[in-house]
Amino acid sequence: MPELPEAETLVRGLRPALVGRSIVQARVHKPDILRVRPRRFRDRVRGRRIEAVGRRAKNVVLLLDDGVIVINLGMTGWLAPLGLGPHDPPRPTHPAVTFRLDTGRLVFDDVRRFGCVEALDPGEWAERDATFGPEPLTDAFTPDDLFERLHRSRSPVRSWLLDQRKVAGVGNIYACEACFRAGIHPARRGVTVTRDEATALHAGIRGVLGAAVEAGGTTIRDYRNADGASGEFVHRLDVYGREEQPCHRCDDAVERIVFGNRSAFFCPSCQPMIDDAAWAARAS
């Protein structure tokens, strides 16, 4: 599923093509990706001008002259700008919504249709925005704040990081990678994480997200940027998807476990497990 780096890469590719364009018409091919009736959606976006293209958490956000279009990519979602630059990306194969602009088109393509497209008024968007945690690449996300909030939780660290109310935009790929960088077992309870470990985890989160943005995101299977190209960070993953392959640090085999209905990848040597009893003994 596309996470912060993938959404950010897509936004950066779309911004030059979309800002200043007006939406002439919206055609809904697959109504199940909307949260309102197609007619209401079309009425909300028709004639609106795109003032800015941004990102919040894992969502692409089109700020209009009146309202906001919020696009969650789901697992296989992609935004294809057609007729908006010198070269078009590959033609979308599973269009869900097509925005006809004053010049060109923007197509939301989604093979599995787990994505979502919404048209919100400013008040609705303010309420939605408030449900997300701090953006991890901004100054609002600090080591001390991470420690204080994580230390109050008995949830596994990986699961805590996936909660968009805690940290915006982090998904399973980068949660696993950040835990590896910090030397924290993904299944450890948040309450067992020390302040120094939280500082290392903070650096791991920011470091892996920043590097992934620079590499254009991670393509495991479906993700593409605005040009239709794959993300290159997949070649720099330390643990995610590398079960039974040698750790880049110690050559021990990377392992996979499942909890919270999601796989987690880690190195058993570099990320030793600390259970509650061991933590209590260490803390006493």
Residue 58 catalytic? yes
Residue 5 catalytic? no
| Listed residue (67, 74, 61, 29) closest to 47, CA to CA | 67
Strand-pair partners of 156: 189
Catalytic residue (choose from 44, 56, 58, 166)? 58
Catalytic residue (choose from 2, 5, 92, 136)? 2
Residue 112 catalytic? no
Catalytic residue (choose from 51, 134, 262, 268)? 262
Catalytic machinery residues: 2-3, 58, 262
